């Protein structure tokens, strides 16, 4: 993979070089010391992946991510030395299309390969994602016995650009919205708690991490909070699971949508938002086959038109909508 590094700290650049050296197939094509230089270099030679710092002179990583994704879009991973202090900037960059975030590797102590492993795993997964190596064909779910009391659920999946899209969507829903909401966003578990708090504060709704064994519930927005997948079980509760282990997306939107199609007894809507790759498209189609309303974000309002495009290509979405029209549609469906 052709990789660029954007960082103004010589020690951080050296640490990233040493990490990438563990995988000979990776090639560093250029290094930039600030966001403005990165925008210029990316226009001259677009890499497969950019490892982007957040805090830099001249232009920070958030603005650089926004400009690159608008002009010469490519995969971007935010690499930060202090995620807790930079949590708002992390989600702002992801709102502009950054795929993921990881701590700056600390190679000074312990086994260097162990310290390099988290970043190398993310790079491997992004390589699979860029190649869209997902040709699975899934069967339709079996019929499910309907319960006497119909519950209501909104299942939402998002990836690159997702934090900002989720903020806009949730902010447009009333506090007394009469449906449970479960979110699956591609984000590392070390940032999930911060994202839940950020969404809760910015949207005005209660957003927290989903707990193993609890059911979706009206009045609370539950966010998948680990690097395992989240599923709806036959008994109506949520569970984290490592299976399937071969899923490159963790947590996988497909895994959750498929479980909703199989086991949800009630009314449901599946919503697939901005993101790179194909995750969620097959699961959304299974929800449509079950008879649930399915919505995909349109190209014009997406930061990255990958996952919704894949859903549209296989006719998984009953409706293609702009981001600002999704919440009004959900209110229309569930407040009649």
Q: Which residues are catalytic?
A: 159, 186, 279
CA distance 228 to 112: 25
Distance set, CA 304 to CA 115, 158, 169, 257 (Å): 30, 10, 16, 20
> What string of DSSP letters covers 34-51?
SHHHHHHHHHHS--SEEE
What the block records as the tokens of 60 is: 């920070």
> What string of DSSP letters covers 76-100?
EEEEES-TTTTHHHHHHHHHTT--E
CA distance 76 to 62: 11
Q: How many CB atoms sit inside 10 A of residue 320's CB?
A: 14
What the block records as the tokens of 297 is: 């974000």
List, in sequence order, the alpha helices (H) in 222-335: 253-263, 281-290, 307-313, 323-334
Please count the residues of the chain: 336
What the block records as the tokens of 102 is: 């990881």
Task: For residue 124, give every residue at least 6 positions away whose Cβ sits within 8 Å of its Cβ, in sequence order, or none.
Answer: none
Q: Is 82 exposed, middle or buried (0-12, 13-18, 19+ CB in 10 A)?
A: exposed
CA distance 30 to 128: 22
DSSP secondary structure code for residue 104 in this structure: P
Computed from CA positions of residues 4, 163, 305, 229, in that sequence, does the dihedral angle turn out positive or negative? Answer: positive
């Amino acid at each position: 993979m052709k990789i660029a590094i954007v960082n103004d700290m010589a020690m951080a650049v050296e640490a990233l070089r040493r990490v990438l050296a563990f995988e000979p197939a990776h090639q560093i094509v250029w290094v930039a010391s600030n966001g403005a230089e990165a925008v210029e270099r990316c226009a001259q030679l677009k890499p497969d992946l950019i490892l982007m710092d957040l805090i830099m002179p001249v232009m920070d990583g958030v603005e650089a991510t926004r400009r690159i994704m608008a002009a010469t879009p490519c995969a971007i991973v935010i690499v930060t030395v202090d995620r807790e202090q930079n949590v708002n900037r992390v989600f702002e960059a992801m709102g502009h299309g950054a795929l993921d975030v990881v701590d700056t590797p600390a190679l000074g102590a312990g086994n260097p390969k162990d310290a390099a492993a988290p970043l190398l795993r993310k790079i491997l997964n992004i390589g699979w994602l860029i190649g869209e190596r997902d040709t699975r064909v899934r069967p339709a779910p079996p019929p499910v016995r309907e319960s006497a009391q119909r519950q209501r659920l909104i299942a939402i999946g998002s990836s690159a650009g997702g934090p900002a899209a989720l903020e806009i969507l949730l902010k447009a829903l009333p506090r007394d919205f009469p449906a449970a909401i479960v979110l699956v966003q591609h984000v590392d578990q070390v940032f999930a708690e911060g994202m839940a708090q950020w969404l809760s504060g910015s949207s005005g709704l209660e957003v927290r991490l989903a707990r193993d064994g609890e059911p979706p519930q009206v009045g609370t927005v539950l966010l998948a909070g680990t690097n395992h997948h989240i599923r709806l079980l036959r008994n109506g509760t949520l569970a984290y699971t490592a299976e399937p282990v071969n899923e490159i997306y963790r947590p996988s939107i497909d895994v959750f949508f498929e479980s909703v199609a199989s086991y949800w007894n009630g009314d449901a809507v599946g919503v697939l938002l901005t993101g790179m790759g194909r995750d969620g498209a097959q699961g959304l189609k299974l929800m449509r086959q079950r008879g649930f309303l399915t919505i995909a974000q349109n190209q014009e309002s997406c930061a990255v038109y990958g996952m919704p495009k894949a859903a549209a290509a296989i006719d998984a979405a009953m409706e293609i909508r702009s981001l600002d029209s999704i919440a009004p549609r959900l209110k229309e469906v569930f407040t009649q």
